[in-house]
Amino acid sequence: MRFFIGLFYLITIFSSCSSSKNELEKDIILPSITCRDGFQNGDEEGVDCGGSSCNSCTSSGPVIPTSGYMSPTTYSGYNLVWSDEFTDTLDTKKWSFHKGSGCPNLCGWGNNELQYYTDKNHSFVDGNLVIEAKKESISGSEYSSTRIHTDNKFEVKYGRIDIRANMPSATGSWVALWLINKDYSIAAPAEKWPSGGEIDIMEYLGESKNKFFGTAHFGSDLSNHKYNSTYYTTTGENFDEIFYVFSIVWEEDKITWLINNEEYKTFTPSNTNGQPYPFNDEFFLILNLSVGGNLPVTPVASEYSAYLIVDYIKVFEKN
């Protein structure tokens, strides 16, 4: 905006000093001032946010909730076999990074996502892992974020998994807390997906702050890909306001999804519609915050950065 106004002043001065009375002055058309013009105008507190007419600006950093559900530390008949409390650094004995845009074999990470994953978009605040999705141009992508996984470091087959987390608020953000077959590879994704199975403990879209969904993906090959998905809508505080605990209880031939220890979905071989049931194998964990893609609406750039906050992950197996 300053460029256009400055240009207007220069032309006005030049015109007033001109000795020619017949020289035509050209009108300068300035861009309209709106909450989507990409400038900080009037009484806006930031670019396209704040002030008397635009939406409130996002906070300058993550706000860690002080309330929400806390899962039990023990369960009858189970032993804790793996956990991460996310104190101050990412434990590289437990986690690795998926980096980049997924190309050349899984561009857009298979979902037309807009972010580029780095090993830098995470931090630790008050004993919580914070994954940040930022609006920035990086290697041809419009956003950056982080995706971590336990491939070749921890695989699990059956048990109970609890993840205590708080969701982002930004429109177009997409959280996934999930598991995929131990033999899955980004270098050759179709070789083991969907045939190897995918268990989405939860997925959440930033524009739908009071709901999330749990899903099982399966099918003998890509042409036979099937999924079984169930939405859960909260009657309490939204998922971006407090902590919730997202869980599965995984047994032979049965997976049960829970929210704050309340069951809301089950899946068994009877739900595969004739396709093979792949969920009696070892899987590894993935946590990611993506932006845009096949499921969310178009992201609103001024609402970023967005934050996924994870307090802990605990994996229990039966005695």
Active site residues: 198, 203
State the DSSP code for 219.
Answer: -
Rounded to an integer, what distance in angstroms lies between the CA atom of residue 246 and that of residue 72? 13
Structure tokens at 184: 């899955």
CA distance 226 to 217: 6
Are 111 and 205 in contact by the 8 Å Cβ rule? The answer is no
Query: What tokens appear for 109 in the block?
Result: 């990470």
* DSSP label at residue 100: B
183-186 long-range contacts (CB < 8 A, ≥24 apart) are 186/98, 186/102, 186/105, 186/106
Peptide bond into 52 cis (omega under 30): no
SS3 131: strand
